Structure formats: C-alpha cells, structure tokens
Amino acid sequence: MAVSASLRRVTRRDALKTLSAACVGAAAGVGAHGFLYERHRIEVTRATLSVSGLPEALTGLRLGFLTDTHRSMTVPHELIDAAVQLALGEHPDLILLGGDYVSFGNRSFAKPAADALAPLWAPHGVFAVLGNHDDDRDVPAALIERGFEVLKDARTRITVRGEPLDVIGIRYWTRRMADIAKLVKGAAPVSIFLSHTPSRLIEAASLGLPLMLSGHTHGGQVVLPALGAIAARGFPVIAGEGRRENTTAFVSRGVGTVYVPVRVNFAPEVAILTLRPRNPPE
C-alpha cells in the first residue's frame, strides 16, 4: 500500500523528535551522574616520575599534590576534607598545593578553604602557590595562618635526606621568562617548580627545571567520547605525566569543580608522586 508524502514527512519529523529527545535525555543522564556521583568520587593517583639529576638519596621521595579545591557553594568542606584524609593516609614526605582554593576570587571562602586544608601535614612541610581564581591577599593570608608556606614568585630551600631541595612557586600571572629566570638563578640542582598552569612548561624546560607540578585544567572536567577534553585543549599537558626536553611535568585533574558542578569521565584526584632518577646508574 502506498504511503502518502505527508505521512512520510510526519514520520521523519517524529523520528527526529524522538532522536532529539533521546540525546537530551542521555545528556541529562550523564550530567546527573556527573553531578550526583562522579564529582564526589575522589581517586588516589599513584605515579612514579623520572626526574633528571635526582640524587640517589632522594630516590623514593613521595610528594602529595592537591590542587583546584575550589571551595564554594557547590564544592563543600566535606569533599575537600575527604581529599585531605586520602592524602594524609598515604604519608607523603612533602605536600604541595597547586592553587585555585576558591572560585571567581570569592574572598568569603578564603578561610573556609584554608580550614578544609588545615589538617595537611608532612615531615618536610606543606607549600602552596596561587591560581587564577585566588586573590593576592585573603587566600594566602588564610593559608599562612594554617601553617603553610605560600610561594608568591619565591623560592625556598629544604634539606631532605641530607640533600638540598628547592621549591619554586610562581603566581598564575607570572609568565615572563626573565621573571621566572630570576627565581631559578642559584637554585639547587634538584628543584620542584610549582606553576598553577601547565602552560609554563615551555619556560620550565628552557630553564632546565627538572620537575614541574601544575593543575588548572581539571583534566578537562567534562571529557566526552570522541570529542575529548574540550575545555582543556591548548595546554601542553592536560592531565598526568608529560615531558619537554629534560623537564618532567605532572598535571593533576584537581579536587573541585568550577563553572558547572559536574565531572564526566575524569574523577577528582589526590596525586601521590614517587620520584626516581631519570637515568639511574647501571
């Protein structure tokens, strides 16, 4: 029996409506999962990083790295506290914080952000840098009050297992090679470079810094099949380990969320990084 043209048009139109509704429903389901479950599912990422020039005495040194906590109305104290407890349970030798403790410069969350991180402790200290969402006064003051050392374009030296180790930290907005080079001049052969954004990997490699830790990308926060991490494109490393020349980089996908309280296919993380020499002797 012949089917009229108008009926065929209706059928195609209904099919498109059904397909659109299915796509919207699927997206809503993914969003709901990312909001209700995945953004709370903090993972411990344990990675071994090969570091150029690392002395044998520092082989096995364990770093705890937390970043992008984004304490806010949508990132509660309990989520950050869970990350803190996971980090403490790993007993790292040194803890490093990568910035973005609040969102959109909201100073009312400066003290709550620091309170959530306050239990952090490690034998060789806790060091922090600022991110693009942090102000230059209230957030660092709150962190310092909790006993953390905040590196605002600064370098500090500690001694670990008899070896000098420098921690160099820059503000998010510090990007001129000359400004970073001033901090590197006279640094110990083994230095940890803290930069909120992985975009500074080019400068770190040019200056011969052996290890850089960053956050900022959230690993993309929302990672879609086939499309990938759309929001984090353009960075030299989106998440995990990378390398440029003699510089090893590690980019954490962070703890909190920003813009939308959702994570899809990239859960929040606490990173525990074990160091080893890049070229160990035979």
What pLDDT digit, counting tens, does each position of 158-206 carry? 999 999 999 999 999 999 999 999 999 999 989 999 999 999 999 999 9
Indicate whether 149 pLDDT > 90: yes
Is CATH 3.60.21.10 the classification given to domain 37-277?
yes
pLDDT value for 10: 47
Q: Residue ranges of the domains in the chain?
A: 37-277
Indicate whether 88 pLDDT > 70: yes
- The reported pTM is 0.84
What's the 3-state SS for the chain?
Answer: CCCCHHHHHHHHHHHHHHHHHHHHHHHHHHHHHHHHCHHHCCEEEEEEEEECCCCHHHCCCEEEEECCCCECCCCCHHHHHHHHHHHHHCCCCEEEECCCCECCCCHHHHHHHHHHHCCCCCCCCEEECCCCCCCCCHHHHHHHHCCCEECCCEEEEEEECCEEEEEEEECCCCCCHHHHHHHHCCCCCCEEEEECCHHHHHHHHHCCCCEEEECCCHHHCECECCCECHHHCCCCCCCEEEEECCEEEEECCCCCCCCCCCCECCCCEEEEEEEEECCCCC
pLDDT, the chain, mean: 85
pLDDT value for 169: 98
Indicate whether 36 pLDDT > 70: no
